[in-house]
Structure 1
């Protein structure tokens, strides 16, 4: 007899808010809030709202292309452009340093 276990969708779904990555939406909302409250004028409030709407639109399109694109991008910029074919001289291999 074979036992099957259900995999619930909520356990492996990405954390999205408004259809985009949560951290990026919250960061853009914080920037919009700082711009809107920092200026204390109608122009700064309108520009903050327009910035937030435009950023959520762009972030949603980015999330449709790849749900974790920001993490992939951060990992990409952390990698070196060149990896040598041999280990560094400080790595011990077999008890001896290269």
Structure 2
């Protein structure tokens, strides 16, 4: 007979805040509060509230579709080449291949 070990959902759930990514929501709240505190008039309050909802609503939708979207997006920024076109060989397109350089005398590796 197999032993059943319960895996609690709280142990592997992504931390969110107000339905959105925690860092995005808290940074937007900090920017909103700072802009309202610096401006100290009704225009800055209105623009702060508009900014808050302009960040909150898309952040909730993005987190609902994929909770790890922000870390994946920032990890993808580290890649230098944005698009990898299909080739029959590694040296087929020397402009996209950073290891091979075309010279007048031929290929230099």
Q: How does 1:42-61 map to 2 (within 5 A)?
A: 42-61=42-61
Q: How many residues align?
A: 86
Structure whose alpha-carbon radius of gyration is higher: 2
Query: What are structure 1's unaligned runs of at least 5 residues?
Result: 86-98
Matches within 5 A, 1:35-74: 35-74=35-74
Structure having greater relative contact order (Cα 8 Å, sep ≥ 6):
1
Q: Distance in 2 between matches of 1:72 and 1:33?
A: 28
Counterpart residue number, 2:88: none
Alpha carbon RMSD of aligned pairs, Å? 1.8
User: Secondary structure in 1 aligned to 2:6?
Assistant: coil
* Matching of residues 74-93 of structure 1 within 5 Å: 74-81=74-81
Structure 1 residue runs of 4+, over 3 Å off? 82-85
Aligned match of 1:11: 11
Please report how far the alpha carbon of residue 75 of structure 1 lies from its aligned counterpart in structure 2 after TM superposition. Answer: 0.4
Structure 1 or 2: more helix by fraction:
1
Q: TM-score, normalised by structure 1?
A: 0.79
Structure 1: how far apart are the matches of 2:97 and 2:66? Answer: 27
Query: Please, what TM-score do these two structures have when normalized by structure 2?
Result: 0.71
How far the C-alpha of 1:3 sits from its partner, in A, is: 1.2
Is 1:27 equivalent to 2:22 in the alignment?
no
